[in-house]
Amino acid sequence: MSRARADEEEYWHSSKFRAFTFDDEDDELSQLKESKRAVNSLRDIVDDDDDDDLERVSWSGEPVGSISWSIKETASSSTSSLEGRDSSLQKGSSSYAAFPKQVSSYSLSSLFKGRNKLPSFQSLSDALSDTGVKNYTPELRRPKAEYKDYGSDWSPRDTVRRMQRGKVCSLERFRSLQDKLVLLDEAVAGHDGNVITAVLIFLKRTLRREILFRELEVRQVALCHLIHFLKETGEQKLLLDLLRFLDRTEEVALSQYREHLNIQDVEKRREFLKGCIGLPFSAEDTSHIQDHYTLLERQIIIEANDRHLETAGQSEIFRKYPRKASILNMPLVTTLFYSCFYHYTEAEGTFSSPTNLKKTFKIPDKQYVLTALAARAKLRAWDDVDALFTTKNWLGYTKKKAPIGFHRVVEILQRNNAPVQVLQEYVRLVEDVETRLNLATKYKCHDVVIETYRDLKDRIQLTAYKCKVERGSAEEDKINSILNNMQIRWKN
Amino acid sequence: MAFAGRRDVPEPPDFGILKRLARDQLIYLLEQLPGKKDLFIEADLMSPLDRIANVSILKQHEVDKLYKVESRPAISASDQFCFLVRPRIKTMRYIADIVNADKMSGRSRKYKIIFSPQKFYACEMVLEEEGVFGDVTCDEWSFYLLPLDEDIISMELPEFFRDYFLEGDHRWINSVARALQLLNSLYGPFGKAYGIGRCAKMSYEVWRDLEEESEADGQGRKPEIGNIFLMDRDTDYVTALCSQVVYEGLVDDTFRIKCGSVDFGPDVTSSDKSIKVLLNAQDKVFSQIRNEHFSSVFGFLSQKSRNLQAQYDRRRGMDIKQMKNFVSQELKGLKQEHRLLSLHIGACESIMKKKTKQDFQEMIKAEHSLLEGFDIRESTSFIEEHIDRQVSPIESLRLMCLLSITENGLIPKDYRSLKTQYLQSYGPEHLLTFHNLKRIGLLTEQSAGETLTAVESKVSKLVTDRAAGKITDAFNSLARKSNFRAISKKLGLIPRVDGEYDLKMPRDMAYVFSGAYVPLSCKIIEQVLERRGWLGLEEVVRLLNGNEFSVSDSAVEDNPTWESQRVILAVFLGGCTFSEIAALRFLGKERGCKFIFLTTAITNSARMMEAMIEAKA
């Protein structure tokens, strides 16, 4: 390590940047100790390329936090002693200069490709000088002492450690498969994803993919990193090859399907989705993909049609309620809502009719009713709402039935400002008495409240309710007549 | 407030220095590119940057125009471009495009990329591939820690959650370790370290390595923070998935607190403009209600308003001199308080309005049933209806995940039907979301374990025992069982209700969820601190899939009289919610200790769900 020392000395003697002032100012020192501690811990703030045994630096009295202060720190911030470093190196661990660099003056090709000659101090510093980095003062930011590192035969472990600290290390030496794998395992053991990925980039360049894949199959952590890296860089082909190699067929399919997100043109998107149907999805997902394709196909047809209708201005509904957005790429339920809104009465044969959609996509009753209700209520088409819940039995009697709770129906109607007459019809159908009373009271469906209290034989509540209705109104009369009804056996 | 501390709670250390350090380093880096320059800032970095510097500081250091990365740059005449970015491949390509376009048109400029908090090799690889490597210089801005409040420090890395827990990428572990190193050197040495989770363990190891190398002179120093507790987010997903009902959590769920501040829209300000409000301990009104259950907030606000009114009313009957005094001394403070009060009252109103519309009450009821494990069918149909009505894609996902985690996966029939309805309601492309949720273990199908075991044993045959152990670990982390029910029983997370839970006078941390559930993450921290280790928690640890640790640094002086013994740095890897923060603040007051929160980002259920959605490239 004497060379290092010589280099350092040369640096300190030649540098025009004399960062240290040795006029001792002990008071300042103690005062600044706190800040110094902070700054020293922020090894990466300061570009401590160099070690120096000037542990007890006295500070020049620059105000802490000023820029010049930080720049001086740049040159002076290191604290660990040279001796300590040497001994640790002998032990084989690289605690030496374990601080990240700020300026990347090295290129990745020097990392991965190496150079023709055996890497040596000289040749690598040459390499650095022609990287075209010229925006900083080399003397300030990158003392020569550092360059010697290139020549050393770092063990895989030390290489990984140095890379973790942002140091440059040539990986070129690792040529045998075993060396490469040891390096990779060390990187994984070092828990730094950045380094793991860097090693993987190197392996990817220097190994045939089948070999790489085979080795990654038993190295799950590294494998995750490569997959993530390929996703991020968009190397889709290699990613798919890897997933196929691993027999992860479902992921192959999903990963291909994912690409549709990037296709803007609907026609192209539709074509692409068509191609996705044959991908090795699970049976369940295959039907979802099929539905996706069919849905977009329908939407394209509906969109073309409706745009035409709208511009022609012939259709009343489109004139009255101009479309706010195109239906393309909307979810199925939104499409259904749209179709219930604009195409409610169409025959099942047309693609845009709600019944057609319901059949094609096997939309459950519940879902269908909720959506149709919302659409028709929005149009205030109360007759349609009524029809939605009316069923006839074989004797021709009509009955109200809903696959969803009637409280839900009430809520949707109320949100669409349904008149009380409509509302109370459905409030009346809410089964749970308490909920019914709550809703009826909340939405002022007086008749329902009154009838419910009557059915509950609750005279007190009914009497109390009298003050909620208008004086002299039909409701008041109704309450009075019920209260006067001698037939009722009140419970209170 | 409502709870009286048994012991004096130690004051939190001053984290202002962290801001100063970050600012100074940024200035230093800007000075490395002397002369006028245009600065391109990554969207994610704008709010954090706002918290430590301002435009005039940037202008002072010759930043001419500011641009957002991703929006096409305006035609700029500047000779120098500086990019302040996160280390992302996409951003590298964006920069490379600018450089290459300049090259094509024969324009020469200087380019500098400042990576925050650190540079990745993969980014440099992209720069090299794009042929711009020599044309740009790179620097690192080690801005790891942003103090959001007197007791909250955020790394502002929301992507940590997806990168680590979904993709299994360890790229941020080193950043966490560096953040710990910095805090340790400023406020440590931390004498005692506890943790649970794979990532916690790795971060701890890397940090210790850094400490060993740095030979810091921490020995014998009197620490300000004595304990550290690291926890992986996947130790407890349940808490993060619950609807928040403490005020700060509700504000976050409703309006999204970003970097410690919130934009209150016209519906809150009852004017036509939005107001940006900094939410922290300095806000005299907010600091008193932030940790309160929402139901107690109204009462507090109205009391406060009455007091304020009374103070204003004192004007009446004042003589000129008194009036002069009043105006010069008190009026400003009163006006300020008035402004804050009306904002928070407006926020409450807006929250109420939104929540009533969403059937909040019903939703909370369903959540509580899931937590307690009864009426599962009823909750399932509530979720189904939620999906069918297209209430909210994120909320629907959240409820499904909560159902899955608490029930150790959905039964296959429910899984299929909910998934189908979800895709129909919110779009077929969410197929990808479901796949992600399955991988991360948030939304699974029961009996899915079989396929996993098959792969596992196949792989295990191929490798040595040592590696096989690691693989099993890896598999566990990928699709671990939550065992929530058993853990909840062991730790008593569902308080027994005898009578009404008084939310104004909370008796335990369950108050942050209306008395229905003690947040698991906080309960673990409480138990471990109480026992000074994991002894006696073996069964819980097993159910949590292990990876626990507890280390005392023998080199650090252990002086029980030091206040630092009662200061705990709680580190949440993958995000921490305001409910958890409120719960631990409560615990701190009860036990006379102070929790400092270090999180990779503030999170909530919506952010977690959004992180699982695939976006177009």
- Per-residue pLDDT band at A342 (split at 50, 70, 90): very high
Q: How far apart are CA B147 and CA B509, in angstroms?
A: 25
Q: How far apart are CA A130 and CA B377, in angstroms?
A: 70
Q: How far apart are CA A272 and CA A69, in angstroms?
A: 60
Q: Is A408 in the same domain as A485?
A: no
3-state secondary structure B412-452: HHHHHHHHHHHHHHHCHHHHHHHHHHHHHCCCCECCCHHHH
Q: Which residues, 6+ apart, have CB-to-CB distance to B341 below 8 Å?
A: B285, B301, B304, B305, B308
Structure confidence by residue, pLDDT tens digits, A364-386: 888 899 999 999 999 999 889 88
Nearest to A217 by CA among A178, A187, A251, A247: A247
Nearest to A165 by CA among B154, B212, B252: B212
Q: Which of A80, A192, A195, A371 to mutate to test the interface with B (most CBs of B within 10 A)?
A: A192
Contact B135 A192 (CB under 8 A): no
Q: Which residues, 6+ apart, have CB-to-CB distance to B65 below 8 Å?
A: B38, B39, B74, B76, B78
Interval A297-319 mean pLDDT: 89
Query: In terms of CA atoms, which chain A residue is nearest residue B202?
Result: A191
Q: What angle do CA A123, A124, A126 make, to 5 degrees?
A: 65
Better-scored residue on pLDDT, A467 or B405: B405
**Closest to A41 (Cβ–Cβ): which among B163, B186, B390?**
B186
Neighboring chain B residues of A133 at a CB cutoff of 8 Å? 134, 137
Range with the poorest average pLDDT among A21-25, A403-407, A461-465: A21-25
Q: With a CB-CB cutoff of 8 Å, which residues 283-312 of chain B face chain A?
A: none
Q: Note whether residue A198 is domain-resident.
A: yes
Q: Cβ distance B242 to B583 under 8 Å?
A: no
Last residue of a domain, one of A247, A276, A292: A247
Domain B359-407+409-448, what architecture? Alpha Horseshoe (1.25)
Interval A74-101 mean pLDDT: 36
Q: Note whether residue A1 is domain-resident.
A: no
Number of domains in chain A: 3
First to last CA, chain A: 102
B450 touches A: beta carbon within 8 Å: no
Strand partners, B263: B276
Contact A331 B125 (CB under 8 A): no
pLDDT of residue B218: 56
Contact A331 B425 (CB under 8 A): yes
Query: In terms of CA atoms, which chain B residue is nearest residue A197?
Result: B122
pLDDT of residue A237: 94
- In this structure, the strands spanning B548-552 and B192-196 are antiparallel
pLDDT of residue A114: 35
pLDDT of residue A192: 93
Q: Is A466 in the same domain as A387?
A: no
- Per-residue pLDDT band at A346 (split at 50, 70, 90): confident
B428 touches A: beta carbon within 8 Å: yes
**Closest to B171 (Cβ–Cβ): which among A131, A194, A220?**
A194
Nearest to B390 by CA among B417, B351, B358: B358
Query: In terms of CA atoms, which chain B residue is nearest residue A89?
Result: B213
Q: Cβ distance B165 to B544 under 8 Å?
A: no
Q: What angle do CA B51, B55, B57 make, to 5 degrees?
A: 90
Interval B583-597 mean pLDDT: 93
pLDDT of residue A64: 36
Q: How far apart are CA A434 and CA A442, in angstroms?
A: 12
Neighboring chain A residues of B31 at a CB cutoff of 8 Å? 67, 71
Better-scored residue on pLDDT, A101 or B418: B418
Q: Is A181 in the same domain as A237?
A: yes
User: What is the residue-averaged pLDDT of chain A?
Assistant: 73
Range with the poorest average pLDDT among A10-24, B104-118, B295-309, B545-559: A10-24
- Per-residue pLDDT band at A19 (split at 50, 70, 90): very low
Q: What are phi and psi of B379, to 5 degrees?
A: -65, -40
Q: How far apart are CA B396 and CA B401, in angstroms?
A: 9
Q: Is A399 in the same domain as A458?
A: no
Better-scored residue on pLDDT, B349 or A89: B349
Better-scored residue on pLDDT, A53 or B551: B551
Structure confidence by residue, pLDDT tens digits, B391-419: 899 999 999 999 999 998 999 999 999 99
Structure confidence by residue, pLDDT tens digits, B156-175: 999 999 999 999 999 999 99
Judged against a pLDDT cut of 90, whether residue B120 lies above it is answered with yes
Closest-CA distance of chain A to residue B130, Å: 12
Q: How far apart are CA B601 and CA B259, in angstroms?
A: 9
Instruction: Print the domain residue range for A466.
Output: 446-491
Cα of B521 vs its chain's centroid, Å:
14
Q: How far apart are CA A490 and CA A454, in angstroms?
A: 9
Cα of A137 vs its chain's centroid, Å:
41
Q: Is A426 in the same domain as A475?
A: no
Q: What are phi and psi of A462, to 5 degrees?
A: -65, -45
Q: How far apart are CA B392 and CA B415, in angstroms?
A: 19
pLDDT of residue A16: 39
Q: Note whether residue A358 is domain-resident.
A: no
**What crossing angle do the helices spanning B173-187 and B198-214 adopt, rounded to 10°?**
50
Structure confidence by residue, pLDDT tens digits, A147-206: 444 455 778 888 888 888 887 778 888 888 988 999 999 999 999 999 999 999 999 999
pLDDT of residue A53: 34
Contact B385 A221 (CB under 8 A): no
A197 touches B: beta carbon within 8 Å: yes
Residues in chain A, how many?
492
Q: What secondary structure does DSSP assign to B239-271, as a single string?
A: HHHSPP-BHHHHHHHHH--BTTEEEE-HHHHTS
Query: In terms of CA atoms, which chain A residue is nearest residue B28?
Result: A67
SS3 state of residue B517: coil
Contact A107 B390 (CB under 8 A): no
Interval A20-38 mean pLDDT: 39
Judged against a pLDDT cut of 50, whether residue B452 lies above it is answered with no
Fill in the DSSP letter of residue B380. Answer: H
Percent of chain B with pLDDT over 90: 48
**Closest to A67 (Cβ–Cβ): which among B27, B134, B419?**
B27
Last residue of a domain, one of A215, A247, A279: A247
Q: Which of A46, A72, A135 to mutate to test the interface with B (most CBs of B within 10 A)?
A: A135
Q: Cβ distance B216 to B258 under 8 Å?
A: no
Judged against a pLDDT cut of 70, whether residue B329 lies above it is answered with yes
Interval B18-45 mean pLDDT: 90
Q: Is A208 in the same domain as A241?
A: yes
**Closest to B424 (Cβ–Cβ): which among A136, A232, A363?**
A363
Amino acid at A346: E
Q: Which residues, 6+ apart, have CB-to-CB distance to A371 below 8 Å?
A: A333, A336, A337, A340, B388
Range with the poorest average pLDDT among A442-451, A480-489, B133-142, B368-377: A480-489
> CA B567, B573, B574, B580 torsion: positive or negative?
negative
Q: Cβ distance B65 to B39 under 8 Å?
A: yes
Q: Cβ distance B425 to B257 under 8 Å?
A: no
- Per-residue pLDDT band at B451 (split at 50, 70, 90): very low
Structure confidence by residue, pLDDT tens digits, B234-293: 999 999 999 999 999 999 999 999 999 998 888 888 788 888 888 988 888 899 899 989
A227 touches B: beta carbon within 8 Å: yes
User: What is the residue-averaged pLDDT of chain B?
Assistant: 86
- In this structure, the strands spanning B567-573 and B227-232 are parallel
Q: Which residues, 6+ apart, have CB-to-CB distance to B576 below 8 Å?
A: B570, B597, B599, B602, B603
pLDDT of residue A67: 28
Q: Is A173 in the same domain as A238?
A: yes
Closest-CA distance of chain A to residue B186, Å: 5
Last residue of a domain, one of A247, A280, A304: A247
User: Quick one: fold of B148-236+520-612?
Assistant: Rossmann fold (3.40.50)
Judged against a pLDDT cut of 80, whether residue B464 lies above it is answered with no
Quick check: bond before B519 cis, omega within 30?
no
Q: Is A460 in the same domain as A425?
A: no
Q: Is A432 in the same domain as A450?
A: no
Q: What angle do CA B415, B613, B277 make, to 5 degrees?
A: 120
**Closest to A67 (Cβ–Cβ): which among B28, B174, B388?**
B28
pLDDT of residue A134: 35
Q: Note whether residue A49 is domain-resident.
A: no
Better-scored residue on pLDDT, A203 or B474: A203
Q: Note whether residue A25 is domain-resident.
A: no
Q: How far apart are CA B22 and CA B41, in angstroms?
A: 16
Structure confidence by residue, pLDDT tens digits, B500-510: 788 888 889 99
Residues in chain B, how many?
617
B71 exposed, middle or buried (CB, 10 Å; 0-12, 13-18, 19+)? exposed
Q: How far apart are CA B319 and CA B326, in angstroms?
A: 10
Q: What are phi and psi of A100, to 5 degrees?
A: -70, 155
Percent of chain B with pLDDT over 70: 90
Interval A308-337 mean pLDDT: 89
Judged against a pLDDT cut of 90, whether residue A335 lies above it is answered with yes
Question: For chain B, what are the domain ranges?
Answer: 15-143, 148-236+520-612, 247-354, 359-407+409-448
Q: How far is CA B98 from CA A204, A234, B91, B122, B248, in A?
A: 28, 20, 11, 19, 42
Neighboring chain B residues of A292 at a CB cutoff of 8 Å? 428-429, 431
Asked, colleague to colleague, whether B15-143 and B148-236+520-612 share their fold, the answer is yes
Q: Is A401 in the same domain as A461?
A: no
- Per-residue pLDDT band at A468 (split at 50, 70, 90): confident
Q: Is A239 in the same domain as A163?
A: yes
- The b/e string for B445-459 (b: 16+ C-beta within 10 A; e otherwise) is beeeeeeeeeebeeb
Q: Cβ distance B575 to B164 under 8 Å?
A: no
The DSSP element (H or E) to which B146 belongs, if any, is strand B146-147
**Closest to A84 (Cβ–Cβ): which among B215, B216, B471?**
B215
Structure confidence by residue, pLDDT tens digits, B340-350: 888 888 888 88
- In this structure, the strands spanning B227-232 and B146-147 are unpaired
User: Quick one: fold of B247-354?
Assistant: Syntaxin Binding Protein 1; Chain A, domain 2 (3.90.830)
Q: Note whether residue A341 is domain-resident.
A: no
CATH class in words for B15-143: alpha beta
Neighboring chain A residues of B173 at a CB cutoff of 8 Å? 191-193
Q: Is A431 in the same domain as A411?
A: yes
SS3 state of residue A48: coil
Q: Which of A232, A245, A291 to mutate to test the interface with B (most CBs of B within 10 A)?
A: A232
A421 touches B: beta carbon within 8 Å: no
